Structure 1
């Protein structure tokens, strides 16, 4: 079996990936005495204490342990839902609310200095790109998915967005 070097940064990236993936409810990983358990289910609680009572708190690039921390309490916790937006935003009968499908950074234009994809009052078609959400250097285009007019934009350019956060409101035409 191939020897894997798992760093703390690798575990953080894995945790972020699970948090951003809407189709993953639980993930359990055990490797070389280290256990990682992530659950979106609020009532799930798993005792992560293994037979080895010490786990590395940081792993160096050559695989050495910098220091050790004894685990006495379970380390799993539910992944928190995003906080509700300051103003509860709802879509009316003839409106569509576009929400962030993932955690990332909101961009209103394809590159700095370029015109915005859309502005308030602008007409859009179902395939019209309305913004980009960047996640770990990957650019994800969001489309309007309806014929309509941009009624409101709730996020400023280059601001972080949470999963489910309202981004813009489109009035159907």
Structure 2
């Protein structure tokens, strides 16, 4: 399994600062974005947020506020690193992997999907815990849809052998 956590992202801040001296800094930044996305499947799954972080730096370059560039570059690096490790919620897992909630629940219970913890959600004054899933694992599964297909085939085989329904698996 390709482990995003073992692939430490390149030092983004120093590379961002180096783009200032490039003849085409925006092109250089786009290349850096592509390099980050190539190294981290969890960042690819959060592309809009990644683009927004780098857009801050590009805007600063365009304003020619060089005094603030290093601070912004360091901030972008910290945020990109945090973003690459931020776990996914059940809704995000379903959307990314194209699975049903029933499949998510069953695969979590039997250990195929690893829940990494919970977050506290406050909705309309009510607090409740939401399970979260490892960004690295979900990123890997999104790149290996054959694994999801194999899990579905295995579930279908079990259902057929035991004469169960889909509802029986999730209970």
What TM-score comes out, normalization by structure 1 length? Answer: 0.28
Question: Which of the pair has the greater relative contact order for Cα pairs under 8 Å at 6+ separation?
Answer: 2
What TM-score comes out, normalization by structure 2 length? Answer: 0.28
Relative to its length, the structure with more strand (as a share) is 1
Relative to its length, the structure with more helix (as a share) is 2
